[in-house]
Structure 1
Amino acid sequence: MTTLPHLLRPASYVYGTWHTAPDGPTVLDAAYGRPLAIVSSEGVDFARATDHARRVGASALRRLTFHARARLLKALGLYLLERKEAYYALSTLTGATKRDSWVDIEGGIGTLLGYASMARRDLPDERFWPDGKVERLGKEGTFVARHLLVPREGVAVQINAYNFPVWGMLEKLAPAFIAGMPSLVKPAPQTAYLTERVVQDIIASGLLPEGTLQLVSGEAGDLLDHLSEQDTVAFTGSAATARRLRVHPNLVARSVPFNAEADSLNASVLGLSVRPGDPEFALFVREVAREMTGKAGQKCTAIRRAMVPRGRVQEVTEALRRELSKVTVGDPARDDVRMGALVSLEQRERVQETLERLRSETEVVVGGDRELLGGDRERGAFLDPTVLYCDSPLTATGPHELEAFGPVVTLLPYDSLDEAAHLTRLGRGSLVGSVVSHDRAEIAELVFGMASSHGRILVLNRADAAENTGHGSPLPGLNHGGPGRAGGGSELGGLSAVRHYMNRVAVQADPGTLAMLTREYLPGAEVHEDVIHPFRKTFDEIRVGDSLLTHRRTVTEADIVNFAGLTGDHFYAHVDEIGAREGIFGKRVAHGYFLISAAAGMFVSPAPGPVLANYGLENLRFVEPVGIGDTIRTRLTCKRRIRKELRSGETRPTGVVEWHVDISNQREQLVATYDILTLVERARDGFDPPAPPTGER
């Protein structure tokens, strides 16, 4: 039994100060029903809070590059990991076991670290994000366009559910912070004391600029009335609440982006081909039981409907009964307890009311009270795992409309794969579905039958059993959201979540101006040539647009024959005179990879110097054939620079320089184009990034 601290009073952190309300509603601990915390936002000035975020927080973030923001997030993640035990102690009071808390606490911190890594790896070290390729708008190439992503100049309001008080905050904070938008977090009052504890540490760390994170502990008051066109709202919670907030008059009037991730009636389908002795049968049963009991079933991604071949219903029911009998229920602080309590008595009452409504079309096949290992059966919010069965799922409405947000699942029989997919779609949009089968044909039929109504689909079988992360586990790199009832929004999904907090603008200009704005060379822009070979310059000395036009080289038959002998590439277009004459080129042509090799020979500076290694080759295109007697020439131009941080154990500072390479023939026709990456030594004291383009704040 966890010893309760004194009555907690989680404060709000707004406009740079901690604000504690004098009084408010009392929150009880989940397992024993004892008074735990007073949670209220009374006295918070929401107009002042949103103004503080825009004026102070947004301004500070926009002065940082993506990489600088990522470094702060990484440092914050490591800082929180050192303090995680304090979070675990509070988490048990929400009804969560140690395993449940791991997903919430370390899963949330891991999301911070994941976004820090993605941003440093895949985003430029800039304050803006060039998006997509350059679009050529004029015949002569003097008028071009490119999309840029820039931070919205507002505040990201994040309204979170009670079930994941740490992960729910951090998974929204991470992409917003990387994008350059400050966050105003409003956790659910039932578990706000845990969120507040983490925010206390975040503020104490001093790692995040002031105004980039604010916390409202309690109700949202008139917060939404003070949002403007540059702000965003991200909501996680019930579908009913999402519908109500989405049409808030101010959000509608100002077209404030509203992203909803709502509870949904997620389904898992056991394939027709699966037999009781198959690994997939056991995997299905374990996954359904785990999703029922993890967080006591209080997960927006939990399995609510289990589709089972009609002839397997009895076998699945018995297997679930055996599996669930192993689940011990009680005080989540105990090591021998596998399932804790629901978050509150009110939540238990709602689940029980929904169960009663479901029972008009279903029957209980697994249920009944069981012995508690600690906790209070009356004052605690315990509800035992319950399995329902609906014999007529095609005509019933309750299983597809009513969600018991607790340890409850409904078995639904089906007779064909088409019917199984149809049953999943009756949920009118889900966050996640799963298919458990080893038969590739039925997997394909089910996946594509379910795909239009799901945000994520897990295929579970013996091949991925050891490494799969589970039906109900959202991952930073994968989409978390879904259509219809699931909210119609999207979170996570790698860097796509960062885009939610940015404005995409198409900039049309001449190549030189666009290159200046993006600090990235593009064909048609001015180049800079001098007597110093680009490969003799350190990373600090190289500038975007530095260029070298090489000497010429005439391609001979000996070149082609020797390259074929060296590589073993005797493709007819290169070595067969008759075959080549009848081919699409009408003559023998040089190997494309010979052209790349010859170009390297023309532009390299062979002596030791700042260029340490070739880092890779990208965007290769062969445009025109090069025949015997054609003369080629190469232009090498610095396209962009990427400063690399020193890793542990490294002593030699470096950066990556991306070079654009164009190979042309004697008629000045482009024959090949590509980009190469080189690892280049930089000064030990590094360099300051160039000043932002004119007009950037």
Structure 2
Amino acid sequence: MTTTLQSYIAGQWIGREAAQPLRSAIDGKVVASTHREALDFEQALHHARSAGLPALLGMDFQERAERLKALAKYLQTHKERLYAMSAHTGATRADGWIDIEGGAGTLAAYAGVGRNELPSGNLVHEGPVQSLGKKGGFAGTHILVPRHGVAVHINAFNFPVWGLLEKFAPSFLAGMPCIGKPATATSYLTEAAVRLMVESGLLPDGSLQLVIGGTGDLLDRLDGSDVVTFTGSADTAATLRVHPNLVRHSVPFNAEADSLNCAILAPDVSPDDEEFDLFVKEVAREMTTKAGQKCTAIRRAIVPRQHLDAVATRLRARLAKVVTGDPAREDVRMGALASHAQCDDVQARVAQLLQGAEQLYGAADGFVPVGEGVSEGAFFAPTLLLSRQPLTHDAVHDVEAFGPVSTLMAYDGLDEALALAARGRGSLVGTLVTRDPKIAAHVVPVAARLHGRLLVLDREAAVESTGHGSPLPQLKHGGPGRAGGGEELGGVRAVWHYMQRTAVQGSPAMLSAITGEYVRGAPLHESELHPFRKHFEDLRIGDSLLTHRRTVAEADLVAFGGISGDYFYMHFDDIAARASPFGKRIAHGYFVLSAAAGLFVSPAPGPVLANYGLDTLRFIKPVGIGDTIRARLTCKRKIDRNRSDANGQGQGVVAWDVTVTNQDDAVVASYDILTLVAKKQAGTSDGDPAISTSQR
């Protein structure tokens, strides 16, 4: 009995009457149907704006990150429900791992981005603050704020779970409700994933809605605060990009399109090298993983002409070992295409490619899918083509067969290889297999202009390499030209794509109030209580300490050199130092850093638990023997990560602005230190008698 899929709109599951049947890619049986009911997209957007947006912005970055972490754990706990359905898409267990656990892993990765890189609150101070006047009373900086719009995510059929979650994670973290529209062919798996997320109780109302079927007039109803993202064919991306309403309202549009990605075997690699087999393995893996249905798959394998036969022989041998069929069988390594329509499309495109190429391996080489009922499945043989004169063969650079298909291309000289790579007119990813760092240094800057990501593969990297076709949350996913010209993932940058960047100008006091961070020149709060004696809750931005002074003596340089082992001539050779631009011996920079810590530290046990980092360190002026230094320590930024230690003691992170000045009040060193600060136990109080506010 088949299931009628349902859309999730305005907190309700909609769909009872079956419409389009969706067939299993393995045996052709109907596994689900889309629903016939029309969707009210005005209602969907209203719900996202009136319920989803307030719910998301009622939390801050840290709280939304915790939700993502919990969602990742929930999906991992219930992943077998998704694996069972994933097989109908033609995916093997390994393919499903990329999609299902890769999707959950992306949620977890963005939970980490939120917890470790984003502040409390809903405003990001991008910085740095720049003085715009001569007297220090006028400055400017950049902030990022929620757009107060809706993100519409339109996804491809090949990764029904990961495709949704890799877009959902950063937009959710940015405080933007989402409407997800999966490709119809495999939407039953996306629907199953969304049902799990809704069942978890972790999704704020209106933060995620699901569209099964067409988007109707959804794009016509968007405005300039919204965002549209798309993954799929370059042709569809081009059509959506010029949608009249998106153009009219300047709705940001991000496309990640299929591209003719390449792998280049460098001329320094011979058939006897380990790298030669790495190249063959990478091409074969990209042909057969997800049955080649990856926007990052290697479509063009560019090899030195003298090694063409050796590469072809080894590739044929490796492809001949690939068992294709029902993914439920343990011996199967490649499943089916997502649909019979996809089979027809791939076959048609292979026919186009064969007008200027020859077939080295394919269905005629003993291709027989294994398993019960597979005769009705959407199976396609791994197909290896050869273009001996690729510079004169346009189709291989223009036509993509979105399946287990790749074309070998011969080149003469590295510059010709780069010219062939460029014929793709923009790719998501390219791989260079080489042993020679000089070749890598030559190829990468040239190839980078037309690739979103480049993998340089040798035997050392291969030990841990995630492979040519694996986008990672930490790195940008997207590419120029044909690949769509957009960017996804890339760590915190993906979050910023869903936020508005704004330049702000004003006095330091105003900028400090706006950003929630101390800006130099803003009012300081000084009290009898050392800032390090205050618990996290009682610290205020601008709480500050101006230390006593210390005069640097020659003995300090000698002692520090003895402790550190740093006997650099500028610290110990009077003659050489006098001939230097400084004209004298100077103190070690790290001595200045250490001396400043000695000036502002409060040594007794207290709320400050640990110093775990130092940022933006600059040594601005030299400190010589006889100079007198002092430090100012100011609470710059507080981040409540809602964490506790093993004993239940709450903790927060505090960034302190430190400036070290000399006897002329000139800044000699500047940096931020990061500390872990305890929260108060219930019923305790710091007592903080403020005694002055100054502009010092």
Instruction: State whether TM-score is above 0.5.
Output: yes
Residue number among 217, 222, 228 corresponding to 2:217 in the alignment: 222
Per-residue CA deviations over 1:14-62 (Å, capped at 9, x if unaligned) read 0111100523111111111112211136321011111211121112111
CA contact (8 A) 1:129 1:149 kept: yes
Residue number among 153, 161, 167 corresponding to 2:148 in the alignment: 153
Quickly say closer, same or farther: Cα 1:385–1:441, change in 2 above 3 A: same
CA contact (8 A) 1:40 1:219 kept: no
* Pairing 1:169–2:164 present: yes
1:430 positional shift? 0.6
Per-residue CA deviations over 1:614-650 (Å, capped at 9, x if unaligned) read 2222222222223333322221111112234436745
Per-residue CA deviations over 1:386-428 (Å, capped at 9, x if unaligned) read 1111111001101000001111111100011111111011011
CA distance in 1, matches of 2:387, 2:223: 47
Aligned-partner SS, 2:195: helix
Structure 2 letter corresponding to 1:577 = D
Structure 1 letter corresponding to 2:72 = G
Any residues of structure 2 matched to 1:598-677 within 5 Å, and which?
A: 598-646=595-643, 649=646, 651-677=648-674
Structure 2 letter corresponding to 1:517 = I
- For 1:695, the equivalent position in structure 2 comes to none
* TM-score normalised to structure 1 length: 0.95
- For 2:691, the equivalent position in structure 1 comes to none
Aligned-partner SS, 1:277: coil
Structure 1 letter corresponding to 2:425 = R
CA distance in 1, matches of 2:23, 2:205: 33
Residue number among 351, 367, 372 corresponding to 2:369 in the alignment: 372
Structure 2 letter corresponding to 1:183 = C
- For 1:421, the equivalent position in structure 2 comes to 418
Deviates more, 1:372-381 or 1:63-72: 372-381
CA contact (8 A) 1:662 1:673 kept: yes
CA distance in 2, matches of 1:522, 1:281: 55
CA contact (8 A) 1:641 1:655 kept: yes
Per-residue CA deviations over 1:166-222 (Å, capped at 9, x if unaligned) read 000000000000111011000011011111011111111111110000000111111
Aligned-partner SS, 1:588: coil
Any residues of structure 2 matched to 1:178-577 within 5 Å, and which?
A: 178-369=173-364, 370-374=367-371, 376=373, 379-577=376-574
Structure 1 letter corresponding to 2:307 = R
Aligned-partner SS, 2:487: strand
Quickly say closer, same or farther: Cα 1:591–1:441, change in 2 above 3 A: closer
Deviates more, 1:115-124 or 1:565-574: 565-574
Quickly say closer, same or farther: Cα 1:165–1:47, change in 2 above 3 A: same
CA distance in 1, matches of 2:244, 2:604: 68
1:294 positional shift? 0.9
Residue number among 5, 15, 37 corresponding to 1:20 in the alignment: 15
- For 2:113, the equivalent position in structure 1 comes to 118
Structure 2 letter corresponding to 1:203 = V
Residue number among 57, 69, 74 corresponding to 2:69 in the alignment: 74
1:484 positional shift? 0.6
CA distance in 2, matches of 1:565, 1:476: 45
- For 2:676, the equivalent position in structure 1 comes to 679
CA contact (8 A) 1:41 1:220 kept: no
Quickly say closer, same or farther: Cα 1:53–1:618, change in 2 above 3 A: same
Structure 1 letter corresponding to 2:612 = Y
Deviates more, 1:368-377 or 1:633-642: 368-377
Quickly say closer, same or farther: Cα 1:563–1:294, change in 2 above 3 A: closer
CA contact (8 A) 2:120 2:641 kept: no
1:69 positional shift? 0.4
CA contact (8 A) 1:644 1:653 kept: no
* Pairing 1:84–2:72 present: no
Aligned-partner SS, 1:112: helix
Deviates more, 1:394-403 or 1:563-572: 563-572
CA contact (8 A) 1:31 1:375 kept: no
CA contact (8 A) 1:9 1:193 kept: no
Deviates more, 1:639-648 or 1:519-528: 639-648
CA distance in 2, matches of 1:593, 1:283: 46
CA distance in 2, matches of 1:163, 1:568: 58
CA contact (8 A) 1:573 1:588 kept: yes
Residue number among 21, 41, 53 corresponding to 1:46 in the alignment: 41
Aligned-partner SS, 1:54: helix
CA distance in 2, matches of 1:49, 1:645: 33
Quickly say closer, same or farther: Cα 1:17–1:584, change in 2 above 3 A: same
CA distance in 2, matches of 1:490, 1:363: 36
1:153 positional shift? 1.0
Structure 2 letter corresponding to 1:31 = I
Per-residue CA deviations over 1:143-180 (Å, capped at 9, x if unaligned) read 01111101111110000000100000000000000111
1:571 positional shift? 3.0
CA distance in 2, matches of 1:673, 1:454: 38
Same amino acid, percent of matched pairs: 56
Gap runs ≥5 in structure 1: 1-5, 688-697
CA distance in 2, matches of 1:114, 1:27: 33
Aligned-partner SS, 1:339: coil
Aligned-partner SS, 1:39: strand
CA contact (8 A) 2:231 2:255 kept: yes
CA distance in 1, matches of 2:514, 2:195: 40
* Pairing 1:597–2:585 present: no
Regions of 4+ moved over 6 Å: none
Quickly say closer, same or farther: Cα 1:411–1:126, change in 2 above 3 A: same
Gap runs ≥5 in structure 2: 685-696
RMSD (Å), alpha carbons: 1.7
Structure 2 letter corresponding to 1:556 = A
CA contact (8 A) 1:11 1:20 kept: yes
Per-residue CA deviations over 1:586-636 (Å, capped at 9, x if unaligned) read 233333222222222222222222222322222222222233333222211
Per-residue CA deviations over 1:95-153 (Å, capped at 9, x if unaligned) read 11111111100000000001101110111122111113111111111101111101111
CA contact (8 A) 1:12 1:41 kept: no
CA distance in 2, matches of 1:564, 1:445: 42
Per-residue CA deviations over 1:284-339 (Å, capped at 9, x if unaligned) read 11111111111111111111111111111111111111101111111122222111
CA distance in 2, matches of 1:595, 1:442: 43
Per-residue CA deviations over 1:250-285 (Å, capped at 9, x if unaligned) read 111111111000000111111212222211111111
The count of corresponding residues between Structure 1 and Structure 2 is 682
Aligned-partner SS, 1:104: helix
Aligned-partner SS, 2:128: strand
Deviates more, 1:661-670 or 1:495-504: 661-670
* Pairing 1:62–2:67 present: no
Structure 1 letter corresponding to 2:557 = I
CA contact (8 A) 2:68 2:111 kept: yes
CA contact (8 A) 2:14 2:37 kept: no
1:521 positional shift? 0.8
CA contact (8 A) 1:148 1:505 kept: yes
